[in-house]
Chain A
Amino acid sequence: MASPPAASDYTSAPSSVTEGPALTVSSQRSAGSTIDEMHEIAQPPEKVVIRFRAIGNAPILKRSFFKITSANKFQLVIQFLRRELNYKAADPLFVYISSAFSPSPDETVENLYRCFKSDGQLVVNYCTTAAWG
């Protein structure tokens, strides 16, 4: 069996989308207060906290917490991560939720947050080689 293609094989997007104004990710240096708030609110907030965790040799981000509008597709999270890492479209990048599976790039962040959040965050693991297939 051929090895699985890099995530970029179906997650990369046309440059117009990558550069587009839709990106609403904003940095969150001290995420503590935000996460505390999350526990107070039963209803998923319009913006949710994403925590990036590097696996293996993947470079570590200076900041690991970000907020993103939950109506966005996961595709945007991947694009954002690529930009933060300064990765080109051809560089392999594998992205997982909760160290378990790769979500579909067209899944909304809201759905993923609702189903897979942990302690008020959606944990996104990333690496440069396949970790969890």
Chain B
Amino acid sequence: MPKLPTDEDRFRKLVWHGKLPIQISLAKEDRAALLGRASPSSPPVYYVMAHRCSYLSLITDDVKAWLEALERAAPDRPSSIKPTQVWYAFNGAPLKWHYPIGLLYDLHSIRHPPGTVSAKPICTTKLPWTITVHLTNFPADRLLRNPSRDTTHHYFMAQYKEAEFMRAGSTKRVMNLPREDQDRLWAGLTTAEFETFWAVNHGAVNADDKDELPRHVAIRLYSRTDSAVVQVPLPLAELGSRTTVGEAIAYALRPEQFATGHPPKFRPEDESDQDAPYMVVLHGIVVSSTTPLLWLTRNLCYPDNFLHVVLL
């Protein structure tokens, strides 16, 4: 029987309830086809308060309904919108539907102020986050295909199992969950119901046994500079349970971890100071590099149980 969440969940709740206001406008190249020749000069826009932990492919149903209403308002024509062809872009760059929305924002829209890395990153785009929705020319070379709800579900569970494999050394705890509990994880995520998700995630998979360290911390480091993603197994027992996230990142980016001996660059293009420390961004906030990694992995994971960390 899964343990019910407690007060100790307050940081998990803060993460879970993190939201991002998004303004979605229909891409220029799709306007004429959808709205007809008489389309207005200003693009139609749609606003959504999205959960940072959710996925763009999960808001497509709402976006589609909005577009179909516009379509009906235009001269009669059958709906031509195929959800699996819908994609989103920021400043012309396709947005990966399989990344959590919060991670996409952190990657694309948090910047250092020019000429410094020591100051706090500032976001250069004002809220709401302004993105475009596209209905044609799906960039299959840049995005995973077929972003349906089912595909997203399948993808999410695969990632959940991968994180579990890193943390526990096997996926036994997930595979042993009754079908209903596995479904509850997905239901909780898609309805944003904290209790539904965490009743399963907390008790079965994420138990806070104070004596038991995760075998490895499931963490991914993302670089905006060169789009590199680095995943390194961090053996907490070996490194020490008090390992800070700064120390963990230094360990993960040791040259010997990389086939070429050159870790990807994790600093802004305009940075000249080679010894500049990395700025750790998680859920839109700057995390102190002295934060214990163990605390982060217990409290600030995304629902797939990965720490998706952007390094600036």
Q: Using a CB-CB cutoff of 8 Å, which residues 36-89 of chain A contact chain B?
A: 42-46, 48, 70-71
Give the docked Cα–Cα distance between A133 and B153 (Å).
11
* A115→B166 contact, CB < 8 A: yes
Q: Residue A1 at the B interface, CB < 8 A?
A: yes
* A111→B150 contact, CB < 8 A: no
* B162→A101 contact, CB < 8 A: yes
Residues 206-249 of B, flagged 1 when their CB comes within 8 A of A and 0 if not, give 00000000001000000000000111110000000000000000
Q: Residue A91 at the B interface, CB < 8 A?
A: no
Instruction: Point out the residue from B96, B170, B231 that lies within 8 Å of A111, measured CB to CB.
Output: B231
* A5→B258 contact, CB < 8 A: no
State which size class the interface on A falls in.
35 or more
Known: A106-B144, A132-B161. A115 touches B232 (CB 8 A): yes
Q: Number of A-B pairs whose CB atoms are under 8 Å?
A: 105
Instruction: Point out the residue from B146, B166, B183, B260 that lies within 8 Å of A10, measured CB to CB.
Output: B146
* A5→B171 contact, CB < 8 A: no
Known: A5-B154, A104-B159, A107-B231. A43 touches B261 (CB 8 A): yes
* B260→A46 contact, CB < 8 A: yes
Best-surrounded residue of B96, B155, B158, B258 (most CB of chain A within 10 A): B158
Instruction: Point out the residue from B98, B158, B257 that lies within 8 Å of A101, measured CB to CB.
Output: B158
A131 to chain B minimum Cβ distance, whole angstroms, is: 11
B247 to chain A minimum Cβ distance, whole angstroms, is: 18
Residues 1-24 of A, flagged 1 when their CB comes within 8 A of B and 0 if not, give 110110001111110110000000
Give the docked Cα–Cα distance between A115 and B260 (Å).
17
* B261→A105 contact, CB < 8 A: no
Chain B residues within 8 Å of A43, by CB:
256-259, 261
Give the docked Cα–Cα distance between A17 and B260 (Å).
24
A54 to chain B minimum Cβ distance, whole angstroms, is: 20
Chain A residues within 8 Å of B161, by CB:
100-102, 132-133
Known: A4-B150, A114-B231. A101 touches B258 (CB 8 A): no
* Residue tally, chain B, CB below 8 Å to A: 38
* B141→A17 contact, CB < 8 A: yes
* B155→A104 contact, CB < 8 A: yes
* A115→B233 contact, CB < 8 A: yes
Q: Using a CB-CB cutoff of 8 Å, which residues 28-63 of chain B contact chain A?
A: none
* A98→B165 contact, CB < 8 A: yes
* A12→B154 contact, CB < 8 A: no
Q: Residue B73 at the A interface, CB < 8 A?
A: no
* A111→B229 contact, CB < 8 A: yes
Q: Residue B151 at the A interface, CB < 8 A?
A: yes
* B153→A4 contact, CB < 8 A: yes
Q: Using a CB-CB cutoff of 8 Å, which residues 106-121 of chain A contact chain B?
A: 106-108, 110-112, 114-116
Residue ranges of B at the interface with A (Cβ–Cβ < 8 Å): 96, 98, 140-141, 144-148, 150-151, 153-155, 157-159, 161-162, 164-166, 170-171, 175, 183, 216, 229-233, 256-261
The 5 closest A-B pairs by CB, nearest first: A101-B161, A111-B231, A4-B154, A10-B144, A102-B158
Can you give 28 contacting A-B residue pairs, CB < 8 Å?
A1-B183, A4-B150, A4-B153, A4-B157, A5-B150, A9-B146, A10-B144, A10-B145, A10-B151, A11-B144, A17-B141, A42-B256, A43-B256, A44-B259, A45-B259, A46-B259, A46-B260, A48-B259, A71-B260, A100-B161, A101-B162, A101-B164, A102-B158, A102-B161, A104-B158, A111-B232, A112-B231, A114-B257
